Structure 1
Amino acid sequence: MAASIPLSSRPSLSAISRVARCFTSASPSQPTPSSPSSSPPLFAFSTNPDLARRQDAERRNVQWVFLGCPGVGKGTYASRLSTLLGVPHIATGDLVREELSASGPLSHQLKEIVNQGKLVSDEIIISLLSKRLKAGEAQGESGFILDGFPRTTKQAEILERVTDIDLVVNLKLREDVLMEKCLGRRICGQCGKNFNVASINVKGENGNPGISMDPLLPPAHCMRKLISRADDTEEVVKERLRIYWEKSQPVEDFYRRQGKLMEFDLPGGIPESWPKLLEALNLDDFEEKQSAAA
């Protein structure tokens, strides 16, 4: 089994049933019938710790967090689950990149931080995330899957004060595979979609299973427009991994003590990992029912 999952860390049946009710009442492209003016805030960063909990827990969708090293695939799997469950996928990395594409003092500050492989400060991340959540709230969003936040215990404590996290999924992958994945990442300079040109085939040794991952190649019209991210160099990736491992253990322990952490070792690429992740999340039957209803 690719995952080490304490039973207390699995999503509850009530959480899954809430998702099912959301799908039977509305499609992901159509918000549930409630107006933003009559709905309480999803959550906002505030000194009032009860602000986020005004929404009835039985009526909202799942509120999950994805943890994992840079390049492990948090965005890929969080995005797929976002589509399956009908909740927004909020990646703080995307929020930072959106801000980088803008002009102004914050954009210049972020470019220096990112190009050096350093972590963006709590204050900046919280500001960007708060703005995104408020925008989603105005559009009637309920629930979320956070990707890339929290990265420090301080951030986890802030999040704990303002909302209830149902589950934290910690994706894990060996370092040599992570390095190949990060160096193989590409972005289409025109459409902005992410791809990966790395073809990974690592043999098993010292008790570690072998891992194979096919490249995620773009369509022909994007192939000539691929660019590498400025922070995807070997030196920067190594520094980002070092910083992540230094900071991640306390965050994992924070959620492990609460019984919310589910650790999932990726067994390979998407074809191998996706069904096993759904099984670990008790969502394998749910996907089949959704496919049958489509």
Structure 2
Amino acid sequence: MAALIRSGRSVGGSAARRRISSSAAASEAWDRSPASLGREGAAEIGVPARRGVRWVFLGCPGVGKGTYASRLSQLLGVPHVAMGDLVRDELASPAPLAKELAGIVNQGKLVPDEIIVNLLSEHLKNGEAKGESGFILDGFPRTIRQAEILEGVADIDLVINLKLREEALLMKCLGRRICRECGGNFNVSSVDIKGGDGRPHIYMPQILPPEQCLSKLVIREDDADEKVVKTRLRIYFDVTQPVEEFYRSRGKLLEFDLPGGIPESWRKLLEALNLEDPANRQSAAL
């Protein structure tokens, strides 16, 4: 992990830059970074190949952190580290910790900092050993203490805070489904919330599975009960929102309001980060 700590910063996106930093040094680093240009663009103008971006995704359960973090990790060529997946992998293992974790997760509570940090540290060490550079974190940090610990582990470039109205979040959580065979993520809820009082209309269509996955869909345990989902949302607002201010005060926070479903939101997010997706240019429907 020492290599991660020693590396310099690299962030991307001129539109986003205006919202997260006003310093000339940060702006120069942003404009010259491979992240702002994409890998091919950096190579074309001779920018040295530096370490990958270190980005963090914040947002309530169900907002879509995993979806957008995964897409950006593929686009930028850096690992997507989903803390929820690390916890679920541990739950499925025969390790003694699994039973303790199951009791915490099934009640919709946050996993203790020590456990989360240990899981993340182990994952990053394994990734470094395999030659991985940079990362996009999804689901961590969730507390000020975790954010402080993370600062001692790696220099975070950018924190993207995905935002969505609470009623839409509840519907999305309850509608999430996973294929137990291929691991694909789908959603059977169609979110259609009228605008008003200055709020825009929100429409997010269902994300239905292919026919071969229909009979293999399962519900995550923490999404199966509306009361548990509401508890998770309440805990997020009570505990995690201060993390936003932590990064805002450091000039690293980009707040992004999801305008709708994945195709529309993905294009808007790319614009905010000043990135291009070649596949997005070929097809409007991702």
Query: TM tier, shorter chain?
Result: 0.7 to 0.9
**Distance in 2 (alpha carbons) for counterparts of 1:289 and 1:186:** 26
* Residue number in structure 1 paired with 2:230: 238
Aligned positions of 1:46-61 closer than 5 A: 59-61=50-52
Q: Per-residue deviation at 1:192?
A: 2.0
Q: 1:127 aligns with which of 118, 133, 155?
A: 118
* Residue number in structure 1 paired with 2:144: 153
Q: CA RMSD in A?
A: 2.3
Q: Per-residue deviation at 1:105?
A: 1.7
Q: 1:271 aligns with which of 255, 263, 270?
A: 263
Distance change >3 Å, CA 210–CA 258, structure 1 → 2: same
1:72 is aligned to 2:63: yes
* Residue number in structure 2 paired with 1:62: 53
**Distance in 1 (alpha carbons) for counterparts of 2:242 and 2:111:** 18
Q: Per-residue deviation at 1:169?
A: 0.3
* Alignment deviations for residues 37-91 of structure 1 (CA, whole Å, 9 cap, x no partner): xxxxxxxxxxxxxxxxxxxx97211110000000000000000000110010000
Asked if 1 retains the 8 angstrom alpha-carbon contact of 2:17 and 2:27, the reply is no
**Distance in 2 (alpha carbons) for counterparts of 1:289 and 1:196:** 23
Distance change >3 Å, CA 75–CA 207, structure 1 → 2: same
* Residue number in structure 2 paired with 1:163: 154
* Alignment deviations for residues 226-258 of structure 1 (CA, whole Å, 9 cap, x no partner): 111111110000000000001122111110001
Q: Per-residue deviation at 1:197?
A: 0.8
Asked if 1 retains the 8 angstrom alpha-carbon contact of 2:160 and 2:254, the reply is yes
State the identity as a percent. 63
Asked if 2 retains the 8 angstrom alpha-carbon contact of 1:23 and 1:86, the reply is no
Q: Per-residue deviation at 1:25?
A: 8.7
State the one-letter code of the partner of 2:267: P
1:17 is aligned to 2:33: yes
Aligned positions of 1:80-229 closer than 5 A: 80-229=71-220
Q: Per-residue deviation at 1:14?
A: 3.6
Please identify runs of 4+ aligned residues in structure 1 that moved more than 2 A: 10-26, 286-292
* Residue number in structure 2 paired with 1:251: 243
* Residue number in structure 2 paired with 1:7: 18
Distance change >3 Å, CA 291–CA 239, structure 1 → 2: same
Between Structure 1 and Structure 2, the one with more helix by share is 2
State the one-letter code of the partner of 2:186: F
Asked if 2 retains the 8 angstrom alpha-carbon contact of 1:18 and 1:60, the reply is no
Asked if 1 retains the 8 angstrom alpha-carbon contact of 2:52 and 2:78, the reply is yes
Q: Per-residue deviation at 1:12?
A: 4.9
> Helix, strand or coil: the match of 1:66?
strand
Asked if 2 retains the 8 angstrom alpha-carbon contact of 1:68 and 1:172, the reply is yes
List alignment gaps of at least 5 residues for structure 1. 27-56
Asked if 1 retains the 8 angstrom alpha-carbon contact of 2:19 and 2:254, the reply is no
